[in-house]
Amino acid sequence: MFRERFPQVEPELREGTTPQMLRQVERGDLDLALVRYPVIEATSAMLRPVGSDVLVAALPGTSPLARKRTLRMRDLSAQPFVAYSAAAAMNLRSQVVAACQDAGFTPRIVQEAVQVQTVLSLVGSGVGVALVPSLSRMQAPAGVEFRKLSDGGKRLETALAVATHPRNEPAAAPRFREVLANVGRGPRRFRRWPRADRPDALRHQPCTA
């Protein structure tokens, strides 16, 4: 969609984790990056949320919890958890742990993964449960059930944000944010969505846009 609206901009796409992308934006290696929000680590990059989402429970299809239409956070307290890597995806990892602790328990983490697809594959294999962005259901393997959590509140709110740096924000950045915001307001009929822990980054070539 961005290429169609602004053909004069020649983007160069890269992929990495949120911390990696933020460091590259800070150094000026990237003009802007699409990262998971909120971000817990200190950064000099400017973050502007462009799309909202919420964490939901991902369950093995064979789990008794999958028989319920909705769940409370405490329903997950006795379950083994598949969690995001503390080293590579610490923002989502910290948000999940904080949400669980706010509900009165610390998750029993039995397996870590970096990519949300891997998290969901492990859930589908029966390794444990997980909290994942709701839009990840678009790329879920067979055997995974998703349930809303009725009592997570703001702890479960998440988003995508465009990261730029004040000293080198490209002229195309506002237009990129505009396109993403318009997509976020439209019908959610996507086959795929950016990986929760491996956001896309954009390095655009010099242009007059």
User: For residue 181, what pLDDT is reported?
Assistant: 58
Percent of the chain past pLDDT 70, that is, above it, reads 75
User: For residue 97, what pLDDT is reported?
Assistant: 95
In the chain, how many domains are there?
1
- Which amino acid, 52? S
What one-character-per-residue DSSP string does 176-191 give? HHHHHHHHHHS----S
pTM score, whole prediction = 0.72
Structural domain for 16, as ranges: 1-209
Confidence check: pLDDT of 110 > 90: yes
d(CA 72, CA 103): 9
The 10s digit of each residue's pLDDT in 154-169 is 889 988 888 888 887 7
Closest to 145 (Cα-Cα) out of 68, 88, 70, 66: 66
Task: Report the chain's terminal Cα–Cα distance, integer Å.
Answer: 16
Number of other CB atoms surrounding residue 2 within 10 Å: 16
Question: In this structure, what CATH number is given to the domain that contains residue 123?
Answer: 3.40.190.290
